[in-house]
A = this chain, B = another copy of it.
Amino acid sequence: MQRKLVAVDWGTSSLRGVLINSEGIVLEKRAFPQGILQVAHGQFQHVFEQRFGDWMGADTLCLISGMAGSRQGWREAPYCPCPSGFEDIAQHLQWIEKDRMGIVPGLSTWNDDTPDVMRGEEIQIFGALAAQQIQTAQFVLPGTHSKWAQVLDGKIAAFKTFMTGEFYALLSQHSILAKTCLPDAPLKKEVFIDGVMQSQKSGGLLHHAFSARSLALFEKLNPAQSSSYISGLLIGEEIKSAKADRLDDSTPFLILGSGQLTQRYGFAMEALGLSATALPDEVTWTGLWALAHHLFPQDFI
């Protein structure tokens, strides 16, 4: 039987979906500003029908990743503990309708005594592994809550979250630094790298952040530059902290993310002597399609 796949990424603030045929070709795409925080309790089925109901034929499979599986989402899909691979999340899909509509579980890990979690990034990572035909890799997924993950033998062995994007929003919009910062100014690469290099010096983030203020007082940083500098400070701090967990120096980092942010991480990692390659964002669809193939190898070929 040839089935179609409706692949959905239902995040905190956005809802995206694609219709994919049995050979893995994307036929249609849709995106809505309707993340789980914008959906009232008990309305997930209704919103799904409204947005994607016309794609759901009798034989269609639907797989949903992201925050839809959180406690505040459509239905909770408990975290799979690391190390977890493709088969683990396939076995622990939360079926809303058996073999027809399932939610992908997120992953949890423990760093010392402290838990960490991801939802949605795991399917991007498995998608990238499938697309690259590799089993061992280290990933950087920039964002509001960036993730750095180590993959060994096809399993996500460990990962860490960094609140980099959220700190950027807080500092550039709500702190004293906002007075001298245009948060949406275009990237000034040189100033961005200044921030990256500053973050590597002693003093730590709490101190370096204040330098965006004092440099402005001394007229060495204008508002259009300040956003690039703060972004550099934060991304540099993230890389400084995260690179301690790297597998080895020979396994390059793969960056999964949207164009602009991926570019910034590429610049920063290059400046810090780390080898990194950017992959396109659409590994989410590759991952969900690979999962469909894994579940029903006869139907998705």
> Footprint of B on A, CB under 8 Å?
71, 111-112, 114-117, 145-146, 160-164, 166-167, 170-171, 174-176, 198, 201-207, 209-211, 214-215, 217-218, 220, 234, 237-238, 240-242, 244-245
- Please tell me which one of the listed residues B146, B170, B203, B238 contacts residue A111 in the complex, with CB atoms under 8 A apart: B203
- Please tell me which one of the listed residues B71, B164, B174, B218 contacts residue A170 in the complex, with CB atoms under 8 A apart: B174
- Distance (Å) between the CB of A69 and the closest chain B CB? 13
Q: State whether A117 touches B214 (Cβ < 8 A).
A: yes
- Please tell me which one of the listed residues B174, B198, B220, B237 contacts residue A206 in the complex, with CB atoms under 8 A apart: B237
Q: State whether B116 touches A201 (Cβ < 8 A).
A: no
Contacts of A242 in B (CB 8 A): 204, 207
Task: Given A170-B170, A171-B170, A207-B162, verify A198-B114 contact (CB < 8 Å).
Answer: yes
Task: Given A170-B171, A174-B170, A207-B160, verify A114-B214 contact (CB < 8 Å).
Answer: yes
A204 to B164, CA, bound (A): 11
Task: Given A160-B207, A162-B210, A170-B170, verify A115-B217 contact (CB < 8 Å).
Answer: yes
